[in-house]
Structure 1
Amino acid sequence: MSNFYCECCGTKSSSISSLTANSCSRHPLGPNKGKHKLYEGSEKAKYNCKYCGTSSASISTLTGNSCSRHPNGNGKGKHAPAL
C-alpha cells in the first residue's frame, strides 16, 4: 500500500482523497487557509529542497525551516521538496 504526502507540511495519508480533504497547517496562503497539496514525487530516504539543495529525512522536517534561496527572498518562504 502506498503512502501519500503533503508537499507543504509532510502529512502522510493512505489515500489522496483523505489527504486533500483536510486543511494544511503550512499552506502557502497561511495556516489552515488551504487544503493539503499532494507531493507527486516518490518516497525517498532523503528529501532535497528544490531551491537550495538542503536535505532532510522527511518532508515535514524539510518544510518546517526557512529557505535562504526561496523565490520570495531570504527567509520569506520554506524549503520545498524536489521531485
Structure 2
Amino acid sequence: MILPGKHLREDRALLGVGAEVLSHLGEETTVSELWEKVRTARNSDTQSAPLSFDWFVLGLSFLFAISAIELHRGIVTATNAP
C-alpha cells in the first residue's frame, strides 16, 4: 500500500500519490485547491488511474507523517527539509 510492488502500480501506491501531490505543491495552497490540481492533472493523463479523494487524503497523511508537508490554519506547505 505504501510502496509499489508486483500487484500495485506506482500511481496507486501512497509513495507515488505523495510524490504527485508534492509536485503540485509549489506554493502555499488549501487542501481543496491542491485536490483540484492533482485531480485535474490525473484525469488529463490517460496512463494513470483516476484518483479518489480517499487516496488523496491518505497521500497527504503519509506526507504529514514523514514531515514532508505542514498544515497551518488550513494552508498546506511543503517543509524545507534537506
**Fold-level similarity (TM above 0.5):** no
**Higher helix content, 1 or 2:** 2
TM-score (normalizing by structure 2):
0.29
TM-score (normalizing by structure 1):
0.29
More relative contact order, 1 or 2 (CA 8 Å, 6+ apart): 2
